[in-house]
Protein backbone atom coordinates (compact mmCIF):
# COMPACT_ATOMS: atom_id res chain seq x y z
CA UNK A 1 0.00 0.00 0.00
CA UNK A 2 1.34 3.42 -0.95
CA UNK A 3 1.42 5.52 2.19
CA UNK A 4 1.74 9.25 2.84
CA UNK A 5 1.83 10.87 6.29
CA UNK A 6 1.81 14.54 7.27
CA UNK A 7 3.97 15.59 10.20
CA UNK A 8 3.65 18.66 12.43
CA UNK A 9 5.23 20.16 15.53
CA UNK A 10 3.39 17.73 17.83
CA UNK A 11 3.82 14.62 15.72
CA UNK A 12 7.23 14.70 13.96
CA UNK A 13 8.45 12.55 11.11
CA UNK A 14 10.32 10.12 13.38
CA UNK A 15 7.08 8.98 15.05
CA UNK A 16 5.69 7.93 11.68
CA UNK A 17 8.90 6.19 10.71
CA UNK A 18 8.97 4.27 13.99
CA UNK A 19 5.41 3.10 13.40
CA UNK A 20 6.13 2.04 9.82
CA UNK A 21 8.96 -0.17 11.08
CA UNK A 22 6.36 -2.16 13.02
CA UNK A 23 4.05 -2.37 9.99
CA UNK A 24 6.39 -2.86 7.01
CA UNK A 25 3.65 -3.50 4.46
CA UNK A 26 3.55 0.16 3.41
CA UNK A 27 5.56 1.98 0.77
CA UNK A 28 6.11 5.46 2.18
CA UNK A 29 5.84 8.07 -0.59
CA UNK A 30 6.75 10.96 1.69
CA UNK A 31 6.12 12.76 4.97
CA UNK A 32 5.49 16.46 4.26
CA UNK A 33 5.25 18.96 7.12
CA UNK A 34 2.14 20.97 7.98
CA UNK A 35 2.20 24.29 9.79
CA UNK A 36 5.03 25.89 11.71
CA UNK A 37 7.43 24.55 14.35
CA UNK A 38 5.86 26.64 17.10
CA UNK A 39 3.32 25.04 19.42
CA UNK A 40 1.62 28.28 20.42
CA UNK A 41 1.06 29.34 16.81
CA UNK A 42 -0.09 25.83 15.91
CA UNK A 43 -2.69 25.86 18.66
CA UNK A 44 -4.21 28.97 17.09
CA UNK A 45 -4.25 27.23 13.70
CA UNK A 46 -5.91 24.18 15.26
CA UNK A 47 -8.57 26.36 16.90
CA UNK A 48 -9.32 27.80 13.46
CA UNK A 49 -9.68 24.33 11.96
CA UNK A 50 -11.90 23.14 14.80
CA UNK A 51 -14.23 26.09 14.23
CA UNK A 52 -14.16 26.30 10.40
CA UNK A 53 -13.35 22.72 9.40
CA UNK A 54 -11.16 21.21 6.72
CA UNK A 55 -11.32 24.26 4.46
CA UNK A 56 -9.87 26.61 7.11
CA UNK A 57 -6.35 26.49 5.66
CA UNK A 58 -4.34 24.70 3.00
CA UNK A 59 -2.36 21.48 3.40
CA UNK A 60 1.34 21.56 2.51
CA UNK A 61 2.13 21.96 -1.19
CA UNK A 62 4.07 18.69 -1.26
CA UNK A 63 0.93 16.77 -0.31
CA UNK A 64 -0.80 17.89 -3.51
CA UNK A 65 2.01 16.23 -5.47
CA UNK A 66 1.77 12.96 -3.51
CA UNK A 67 -1.97 12.58 -3.09
CA UNK A 68 -2.77 11.13 -6.52
CA UNK A 69 -0.63 8.05 -5.88
CA UNK A 70 -1.45 7.75 -2.17
CA UNK A 71 -3.59 4.80 -1.08
CA UNK A 72 -3.39 5.40 2.69
CA UNK A 73 -3.14 8.95 4.05
CA UNK A 74 -2.26 9.58 7.71
CA UNK A 75 -2.57 13.05 9.22
CA UNK A 76 -2.67 14.65 12.63
CA UNK A 77 -3.63 18.31 12.31
CA UNK A 78 -3.30 18.75 8.55
CA UNK A 79 -6.60 19.64 6.84
CA UNK A 80 -8.00 17.20 4.30
CA UNK A 81 -10.39 19.21 2.14
CA UNK A 82 -12.90 18.18 -0.49
CA UNK A 83 -10.61 19.55 -3.20
CA UNK A 84 -7.72 17.42 -1.96
CA UNK A 85 -9.92 14.34 -1.76
CA UNK A 86 -11.20 14.83 -5.29
CA UNK A 87 -7.61 14.71 -6.50
CA UNK A 88 -6.91 11.52 -4.50
CA UNK A 89 -7.87 9.04 -7.21
CA UNK A 90 -6.35 6.01 -5.48
CA UNK A 91 -7.04 6.85 -1.84
CA UNK A 92 -8.58 3.94 0.07
CA UNK A 93 -8.20 5.00 3.69
CA UNK A 94 -7.65 8.15 5.80
CA UNK A 95 -6.08 7.79 9.25
CA UNK A 96 -6.35 10.68 11.73
CA UNK A 97 -4.07 10.81 14.77
CA UNK A 98 -6.61 12.53 17.02
CA UNK A 99 -10.07 11.93 18.42
CA UNK A 100 -11.91 14.57 16.41
CA UNK A 101 -12.08 14.68 12.64
CA UNK A 102 -12.76 18.39 12.26
CA UNK A 103 -9.73 18.67 9.98
CA UNK A 104 -11.14 16.11 7.53
CA UNK A 105 -14.08 16.64 5.21
CA UNK A 106 -15.78 13.41 6.28
CA UNK A 107 -18.86 14.18 4.18
CA UNK A 108 -16.76 14.36 1.01
CA UNK A 109 -14.81 11.27 2.01
CA UNK A 110 -18.06 9.35 2.52
CA UNK A 111 -19.38 10.46 -0.88
CA UNK A 112 -16.14 9.25 -2.47
CA UNK A 113 -16.22 5.95 -0.58
CA UNK A 114 -13.09 6.65 1.47
CA UNK A 115 -13.28 5.44 5.09
CA UNK A 116 -11.90 7.67 7.84
CA UNK A 117 -10.40 6.13 10.98
CA UNK A 118 -9.56 8.42 13.89
CA UNK A 119 -7.85 7.72 17.18
CA UNK A 120 -9.85 8.98 20.17
CA UNK A 121 -7.66 6.87 22.44
CA UNK A 122 -4.38 8.52 21.44
CA UNK A 123 -4.37 10.95 24.38
CA UNK A 124 -7.24 9.45 26.34
CA UNK A 125 -5.12 8.05 29.14
CA UNK A 126 -3.19 11.30 29.45
CA UNK A 127 -6.38 13.39 29.70
CA UNK A 128 -8.01 10.94 32.12
CA UNK A 129 -5.03 11.11 34.46
CA UNK A 130 -4.95 14.90 34.18
CA UNK A 131 -8.68 15.17 34.90
CA UNK A 132 -8.37 13.35 38.20
CA UNK A 133 -5.29 15.44 38.97
CA UNK A 134 -7.31 18.63 38.47
CA UNK A 135 -10.12 17.34 40.68
CA UNK A 136 -7.66 16.91 43.54
CA UNK A 137 -5.64 20.05 42.79
CA UNK A 138 -8.71 22.29 42.86
CA UNK A 139 -10.55 20.75 45.80
CA UNK A 140 -7.39 20.51 47.93
CA UNK A 141 -5.80 23.86 46.91
CA UNK A 142 -2.59 22.25 45.69
CA UNK A 143 -1.73 24.87 43.08
CA UNK A 144 -2.73 27.76 45.33
CA UNK A 145 -0.65 26.42 48.19
CA UNK A 146 2.32 25.97 45.88
CA UNK A 147 1.93 29.46 44.43
CA UNK A 148 1.78 31.02 47.88
CA UNK A 149 4.92 29.23 49.06
CA UNK A 150 6.80 30.22 45.93
CA UNK A 151 5.92 33.82 46.79
CA UNK A 152 7.09 33.45 50.40
CA UNK A 153 3.70 32.96 52.04
CA UNK A 154 2.62 30.08 54.27
CA UNK A 155 -1.05 30.25 53.38
CA UNK A 156 -3.65 28.81 55.75
CA UNK A 157 -6.94 30.20 54.41
CA UNK A 158 -8.58 29.42 51.08
CA UNK A 159 -11.98 30.07 49.53
CA UNK A 160 -13.11 26.58 50.54
CA UNK A 161 -11.48 26.44 53.97
CA UNK A 162 -13.69 24.60 56.46
CA UNK A 163 -15.51 22.70 53.72
CA UNK A 164 -12.66 20.72 52.16
CA UNK A 165 -13.63 17.09 51.61
CA UNK A 166 -11.78 14.03 50.39
CA UNK A 167 -12.99 12.37 47.18
CA UNK A 168 -14.37 9.41 49.15
CA UNK A 169 -18.20 9.30 49.01
CA UNK A 170 -18.32 12.28 46.63
CA UNK A 171 -20.56 12.13 43.56
CA UNK A 172 -18.65 12.62 40.33
CA UNK A 173 -20.77 13.65 37.35
CA UNK A 174 -19.35 12.95 33.91
CA UNK A 175 -20.86 14.78 30.93
CA UNK A 176 -20.10 12.53 27.98
CA UNK A 177 -19.16 8.87 28.27
CA UNK A 178 -16.64 8.30 25.52
CA UNK A 179 -13.12 6.93 25.62
CA UNK A 180 -11.70 9.47 28.08
CA UNK A 181 -14.64 9.42 30.49
CA UNK A 182 -14.55 5.62 30.61
CA UNK A 183 -10.87 5.76 31.55
CA UNK A 184 -11.64 8.33 34.25
CA UNK A 185 -14.23 5.95 35.70
CA UNK A 186 -11.83 3.02 35.49
CA UNK A 187 -9.12 5.00 37.31
CA UNK A 188 -11.60 6.12 39.99
CA UNK A 189 -12.28 2.52 40.98
CA UNK A 190 -11.04 2.13 44.51
CA UNK A 191 -11.54 5.81 45.36
CA UNK A 192 -14.98 4.97 46.81
CA UNK A 193 -16.81 7.63 44.79
CA UNK A 194 -20.26 7.57 43.22
CA UNK A 195 -20.30 8.18 39.47
CA UNK A 196 -23.24 9.48 37.47
CA UNK A 197 -23.16 9.95 33.71
CA UNK A 198 -25.00 12.05 31.16
CA UNK A 199 -24.66 10.97 27.54
CA UNK A 200 -27.72 10.80 25.28
CA UNK A 201 -25.88 8.47 22.89
CA UNK A 202 -25.12 5.81 25.49
CA UNK A 203 -27.57 3.08 26.50
CA UNK A 204 -28.48 2.54 30.14
CA UNK A 205 -27.34 -1.03 29.57
CA UNK A 206 -23.91 -0.03 28.30
CA UNK A 207 -21.48 -2.70 29.59
CA UNK A 208 -19.10 -0.13 31.10
CA UNK A 209 -21.89 1.56 33.06
CA UNK A 210 -22.71 -1.82 34.55
CA UNK A 211 -19.08 -2.86 35.00
CA UNK A 212 -18.08 0.29 36.88
CA UNK A 213 -21.33 0.80 38.77
CA UNK A 214 -22.24 4.10 37.10
CA UNK A 215 -25.75 5.49 36.90
CA UNK A 216 -26.99 7.18 33.74
CA UNK A 217 -29.02 10.34 34.42
CA UNK A 218 -30.40 13.35 32.61
CA UNK A 219 -28.29 16.51 32.45
CA UNK A 220 -30.37 18.51 34.94
CA UNK A 221 -30.10 15.72 37.52
CA UNK A 222 -26.35 15.44 37.06
CA UNK A 223 -25.81 19.17 37.42
CA UNK A 224 -27.99 19.46 40.52
CA UNK A 225 -26.56 16.46 42.39
CA UNK A 226 -22.86 16.07 41.47
CA UNK A 227 -20.14 17.33 43.80
CA UNK A 228 -17.69 17.47 40.90
CA UNK A 229 -18.84 17.87 37.29
CA UNK A 230 -16.31 16.90 34.63
CA UNK A 231 -16.78 17.54 30.91
CA UNK A 232 -15.84 14.88 28.34
CA UNK A 233 -18.15 15.72 25.45
CA UNK A 234 -18.02 17.23 22.00
CA UNK A 235 -20.62 19.40 20.32
CA UNK A 236 -21.06 21.49 17.21
CA UNK A 237 -19.92 24.53 19.16
CA UNK A 238 -23.00 26.50 18.04
CA UNK A 239 -24.04 27.10 21.65
CA UNK A 240 -22.56 26.08 24.99
CA UNK A 241 -23.74 22.83 26.48
CA UNK A 242 -23.55 24.57 29.85
CA UNK A 243 -24.93 28.08 29.57
CA UNK A 244 -26.07 30.35 32.38
CA UNK A 245 -29.29 28.39 32.87
CA UNK A 246 -27.50 25.04 33.19
CA UNK A 247 -24.72 26.41 35.41
CA UNK A 248 -27.36 27.79 37.77
CA UNK A 249 -28.36 24.19 38.52
CA UNK A 250 -24.99 23.40 40.12
CA UNK A 251 -24.88 23.00 43.88
CA UNK A 252 -23.17 25.83 45.81
CA UNK A 253 -20.65 23.21 46.97
CA UNK A 254 -19.92 21.93 43.44
CA UNK A 255 -16.73 22.08 41.39
CA UNK A 256 -16.54 22.13 37.59
CA UNK A 257 -13.66 20.56 35.64
CA UNK A 258 -13.19 21.16 31.91
CA UNK A 259 -10.45 19.31 30.04
CA UNK A 260 -12.56 18.92 26.89
CA UNK A 261 -13.48 22.02 24.88
CA UNK A 262 -13.93 25.62 26.01
CA UNK A 263 -17.02 26.09 23.84
CA UNK A 264 -18.90 23.55 25.94
CA UNK A 265 -19.21 26.15 28.72
CA UNK A 266 -20.30 29.78 28.74
CA UNK A 267 -17.17 31.09 30.44
CA UNK A 268 -18.69 34.51 31.06
CA UNK A 269 -21.51 32.90 33.01
CA UNK A 270 -19.07 30.58 34.76
CA UNK A 271 -16.92 33.54 35.78
CA UNK A 272 -19.92 35.24 37.34
CA UNK A 273 -20.99 32.29 39.48
CA UNK A 274 -17.39 31.69 40.57
CA UNK A 275 -16.94 35.37 41.43
CA UNK A 276 -20.20 35.41 43.39
CA UNK A 277 -19.40 32.17 45.23
CA UNK A 278 -22.39 30.35 43.77
CA UNK A 279 -20.20 27.30 43.18
CA UNK A 280 -17.12 26.35 45.14
CA UNK A 281 -14.55 26.25 42.36
CA UNK A 282 -13.47 25.20 38.90
CA UNK A 283 -10.47 23.70 37.14
CA UNK A 284 -10.01 24.66 33.50
CA UNK A 285 -7.46 23.39 30.99
CA UNK A 286 -9.05 24.84 27.83
CA UNK A 287 -9.94 28.40 26.83
CA UNK A 288 -11.73 30.17 23.99
CA UNK A 289 -8.46 31.85 22.99
CA UNK A 290 -5.08 30.32 23.72
CA UNK A 291 -2.81 31.42 25.19
CA UNK A 292 -5.14 33.42 27.41
CA UNK A 293 -4.41 37.12 27.70
CA UNK A 294 -2.89 38.59 30.89
CA UNK A 295 -6.13 40.46 31.60
CA UNK A 296 -8.39 37.38 31.34
CA UNK A 297 -11.15 37.56 33.96
CA UNK A 298 -10.50 34.06 35.28
CA UNK A 299 -7.04 35.17 36.41
CA UNK A 300 -8.64 37.46 38.98
CA UNK A 301 -10.35 34.61 40.83
CA UNK A 302 -9.06 32.72 43.85
CA UNK A 303 -11.29 29.67 43.44
CA UNK A 304 -9.97 28.35 40.11
CA UNK A 305 -7.12 26.13 39.02
CA UNK A 306 -6.01 27.08 35.51
CA UNK A 307 -3.66 25.07 33.31
CA UNK A 308 -2.45 25.83 29.81
CA UNK A 309 -4.02 23.02 27.74
CA UNK A 310 -1.74 20.33 29.13
CA UNK A 311 -4.28 17.51 29.43
CA UNK A 312 -3.19 15.40 26.48
CA UNK A 313 0.34 16.70 26.18
CA UNK A 314 2.52 13.68 26.93
CA UNK A 315 5.14 12.00 24.79
CA UNK A 316 3.07 8.80 24.72
CA UNK A 317 -0.06 10.47 23.40
CA UNK A 318 1.76 11.52 20.23
CA UNK A 319 4.51 8.94 19.77
CA UNK A 320 2.25 5.90 20.20
CA UNK A 321 -0.60 7.11 18.01
CA UNK A 322 0.66 6.23 14.49
CA UNK A 323 1.31 2.60 15.47
CA UNK A 324 -2.09 2.42 17.20
CA UNK A 325 -3.75 3.61 14.01
CA UNK A 326 -1.79 1.27 11.76
CA UNK A 327 -2.95 -1.59 13.97
CA UNK A 328 -6.55 -0.49 13.39
CA UNK A 329 -5.84 -0.12 9.67
CA UNK A 330 -4.55 -3.70 9.56
CA UNK A 331 -7.83 -4.96 11.02
CA UNK A 332 -9.71 -2.80 8.54
CA UNK A 333 -7.79 -4.10 5.53
CA UNK A 334 -8.40 -7.65 6.74
CA UNK A 335 -12.13 -6.99 6.83
CA UNK A 336 -12.41 -7.19 10.62
CA UNK A 337 -14.70 -4.16 10.71
CA UNK A 338 -16.42 -4.97 13.99
CA UNK A 339 -13.21 -4.73 16.00
CA UNK A 340 -12.04 -1.44 14.48
CA UNK A 341 -12.50 1.05 17.29
CA UNK A 342 -13.55 4.22 15.54
CA UNK A 343 -14.42 4.90 11.93
CA UNK A 344 -16.72 7.35 10.27
CA UNK A 345 -18.18 5.66 7.19
CA UNK A 346 -20.73 2.94 6.65
CA UNK A 347 -19.41 -0.33 5.29
CA UNK A 348 -21.35 -0.03 2.05
CA UNK A 349 -19.41 3.13 1.14
CA UNK A 350 -15.98 1.52 1.25
CA UNK A 351 -13.88 2.06 -1.85
CA UNK A 352 -12.77 -1.34 -3.12
Catalytic residues: 261, 290, 309
Residues 29, 1: Cα–Cα separation, whole Å:
10
Residue 318 phi/psi, 5° resolution?
-95, -45
User: What is the largest distance, in Å, between two alpha-carbon atoms of the chain?
Assistant: 67
**Run of H or E residues at 231:** strand 228-231
Would you call 282 helix, strand, or coil by DSSP?
Answer: strand
- Within 13 A of 193's CA, how many CA atoms are on the CB side? 24
Count other C-beta atoms under 10 Å from residue 146's C-beta: 12
Amino acid sequence: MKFTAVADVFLPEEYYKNALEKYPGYECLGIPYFGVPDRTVMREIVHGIEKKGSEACDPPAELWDLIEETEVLMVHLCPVSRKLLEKAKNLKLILVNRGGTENVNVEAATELGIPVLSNPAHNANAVAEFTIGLMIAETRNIARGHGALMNGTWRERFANSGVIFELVNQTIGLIGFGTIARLVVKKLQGWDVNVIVYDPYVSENDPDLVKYGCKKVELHELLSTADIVSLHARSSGDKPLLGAEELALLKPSAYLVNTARSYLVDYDALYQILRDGKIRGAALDVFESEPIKPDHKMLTLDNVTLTNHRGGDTVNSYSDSPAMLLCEAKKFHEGDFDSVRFWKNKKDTIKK
